[in-house]
Amino acid sequence: MIDLFLDGVPIRGRSAALFDQLRAAIVEGRLRPGDQLPPSRDLADELGVARSTIATVYARLVGEGYAEGRVGDGTFVTDYHTGSNKRTQAQAGTHSVRIARHIPPWADTLTTPPGGWRIDLRTGRPDPSLFPVVDWRRCATAALDRPPPGYGEPAGLPELRNAIAAWVSRSRGVQATYDTVLITAGAQGACDLLARALIVPGDTVAVEDPGYAPTRQAFAQHGAKIAAIAVDADGIDVIQIPRSTRAVIVTPSHQSPTGVVMSGARRRQLLALARTRDLMIIEDDYDTEYRYVERPLEPLHRLDTHGRVVYVGSFSKTLSPSLRLGFIVAPADLIAELTRVRHLVDVQPPHMTQATLAAFIASGGFERHLRRTGRIYRSRRDHLIAALDRLRRNGTIESFDQCPAGLHLTVQLLRGDQAARVADRMQAAGIAIMTTAEHHVADRALDLVIGFGLASIQQLDQALDALAKSG
């Protein structure tokens, strides 16, 4: 086996560094076609990294055609040069395509073990078994009675924009009208459009650290310089935002992933900064729909008197991420520009899911769905908090966040380097669980992240038993 070097590489860069070293070894012929890569557990031990890091790197090597998995046998180097592996056989003589800008794979996708996960504690996934199948199908079949129209409005179906305007006004006090709402492909689609409309390459965009990686990657893809700003108990540390910043992206209702709710003082500080420095605030009102404690704080959009706040919402966490529906509320002139961007990206949102969601909201089905699922998620959350409190008191864990909102919380272990190893052991026991590793820009101690969107109360108990045994 060849030598691999990770000394001095920060945790976040390790997967990329390993990938580059293995790929170089294959391309340069130091690893030869048919050579077996070491089992991921062995290599993880040897290099002192999490086993999931190795699995991610191997998956990427397979994905790009440098290696192939043989079932029950391991991972082997392919004959990359002559194209004799399965991936390139389909096109004899294929040259590798020159790629302009390589994008690192998003490592939130754990490799599912054969037979699937026993318990799934991943975040950002509502329970599919709670999906309102009957109500939704009624709204969908009504829409399917007619042929879909030809081209629709790039900003989205007018009925849906009206329904969302009424809904955010009722539920969040966000003042919106038909022409200040744009339908997007979830929050990620919103970020991509906003980056294209607001960012000139070289502009600085401030993000929360830790924070959701695909958001900052979307802005970086359009040439933004990313300024990672630490999050404390009040939310993003506003005074660290660099002077030249063009836009700030925040999740004030439930910071992703720490769970912090941005304090009222911090909100006012951020709005004052936006006013004096002419920067835009992108308020991703993540996880606002499920709230378990205290009266919610007003969204930044509602407090804003200078049109500096763009409000982003999504139906991914309440209905299903596979709907790909979310929205932007912004001043009408920005909405007009985003509409032209949307036309270039993919012309318009798809008609059928828009028509279905519009009818679902207008009929009151969405609010009924939130009440029903909110009760279920609250019982899981309360149970989890009580169980974690026992683990904290008996010294198994250091602390945890109280989950004021949303479908996940973070757990701090007793030793700062413990989370990755605990996650590995729990994964080996069939439990899908992540750490905050993928969220961090700066190198720092990792937390465990426990999502309860997909897990029953019994499964949460089993998972915490496994956690206690994995320390």
Contact positions with a second copy (CB under 8 A) in 329-358: 330-334, 336-337, 340-341, 343-353
Does 276 bind a second copy (CB under 8 A)? Our answer is no
> Closest distance between a second copy and the C-beta of residue 145, in Å?
8
Amino acid of residue 211: G
Does 70 bind a second copy (CB under 8 A)? Our answer is no
Among 106, 244, 417, 442, interactor with a second copy by CB under 8 A: 106
Cα–Cα dist 163/283, whole Å: 20
Site for a second copy in 145-164 (CB under 8 A): 145-152
The span of 10-18, 41-49, 140-148, 378-386 binding a second copy (CB under 8 A) equals: 140-148
Residue (110 or 466) nearer to a second copy, CB: 110
Contact track, a second copy, 71-100, x by CB under 8 A = ----------------xx-xxxxxxxxxxx
Does 230 bind a second copy (CB under 8 A)? Our answer is no
Among 3, 28, 73, 278, interactor with a second copy by CB under 8 A: 278
Residue whose C-alpha is closest to residue 310's, from 321, 320, 318, 299: 299
Beta strands 280-284 and 309-314 are: parallel
Does 69 bind a second copy (CB under 8 A)? Our answer is no
> Closest distance between a second copy and the C-beta of residue 205, in Å?
12
Contact track, a second copy, 164-203, x by CB under 8 A = -----------xxx-xx---xxx-xx--x---xxxxxx-x
Q: If binding means CB under 8 A, how many residues of this protein chain bind a second copy?
A: 97
Among 133, 233, 265, 293, interactor with a second copy by CB under 8 A: 133
Does 116 bind a second copy (CB under 8 A)? Our answer is no
Q: Which residue has the tokens 């991921």?
A: 40
Dihedral sign of CA atoms 120, 122, 127, 129 in order: negative
Task: Note whether 87 and 69 are within 8 A (CB).
Answer: no
- The first and second tokens of residue 245, run together, are 């910043």
Catalogue the E-assigned strands of 188-257: 204-209, 225-232, 235-236, 245-250
Site for a second copy in 417-446 (CB under 8 A): none
Residue (44 or 198) nearer to a second copy, CB: 198
Among 105, 374, 430, 471, interactor with a second copy by CB under 8 A: 105
Q: Which residue has the tokens 């209702």?
A: 253
CA distances from 163 to 137, 261, 285, 298 (A): 18, 27, 18, 21
- The first and second tokens of residue 83, run together, are 């194209």
Residue-wise burial string across 398-408, b where 16 or more C-beta atoms lie within 10 A, e elsewhere: eebbebbbbbb
Does 410 bind a second copy (CB under 8 A)? Our answer is no
Contact track, a second copy, 452-471, x by CB under 8 A = --x-----------------
Cα–Cα dist 176/328, whole Å: 10
Residue-wise burial string across 68-99, b where 16 or more C-beta atoms lie within 10 A, e elsewhere: eeeeeeebbbbebeebebebbeeeeeeeeeee
- Cβ neighbours for 132, distance < 8 A, ≥ 6 positions apart: 319, 360, 365, 368, 369
Residue (419 or 449) nearer to a second copy, CB: 449
